[in-house]
Amino acid sequence: MEKGQAAPGLYNPSMEKYHFTYQNIHKTAKSMADRVKASGFDPDVIVAIGSGGFIPARIIRTYLGKPILAVGIAYYDAHDKPTEVPRKVQWIEEAERKLSGKKILLIDEVDDSRATLEYCIRELMSHHPAGIAVAVLHNKDKPKKGSIPEEVALYIAGEELPDVWIVYPWDAQDIDAHDAAAKSR
């Protein structure tokens, strides 16, 4: 498995695929920002889970105007062997100190197994933030391995999807072919 690819076992070529364009993603991210505003949860900081959360977080920043901190989680070890348990690959200690007493909006692109999300939420909670809200572009309707801790003040999924394979524009080798595939759906 190359770094940056999804964890093994997740992708199955026979799965139905949904392609989303940058335009789709931007509009979904705006709707998420609108829902955060309407909820009354006023985050101090956005935490983006890399790498899929980076672009949605940046778009949401356009609407909420909050700084972004980035964290990275991996399911492979130092020898590129898959691991069962996630590990932190980029977790800025300075950022951890900055999170104490702050309201965090945690952003990722997809809530699939929920394992990464739960791991990140629990890590963030250990730094005593004032509150955590979670926002993902897409939530898949499927049995989850992880759960959203009850301390989470708000959970927003931009779109609810069946258990399909989502093809994101940032993974496209040929963005025009990707957009054509998105339009043909």
Catalytic residues: 112
Q: Which is nearer to ligand G4P, 7 or 64 (CB)?
A: 7
Q: Which of 129, 106, 131 is nearest to 56 (CA)?
A: 106
Q: Which does 172 bind (CB under 5 to 8 A by kind): Mg ion, ligand G4P, none?
A: none
Minimum distance from CB of 35 to ligand G4P (Å)? 19
Strand partners, 135: 107, 156
Minimum distance from CB of 179 to ligand G4P (Å)? 16
Q: Which of 112, 114, 157 is nearest to 133 (CA)?
A: 157
166 scored as a contact of ligand G4P (CB under 6 A) = yes
Among 52, 56, 129, 146, binds Mg ion (CB under 5 A): 52
Site for ligand G4P in 78-97 (CB under 6 A): none
**CA 46 – CA 105 distance, rounded (Å):** 5
113 scored as a contact of ligand G4P (CB under 6 A) = yes
110 scored as a contact of ligand G4P (CB under 6 A) = yes
Count residues binding ligand G4P (CB under 6 A): 23
**CA 158 – CA 69 distance, rounded (Å):** 21
Binding residues for Mg ion, per CB under 5 A?
A: 52
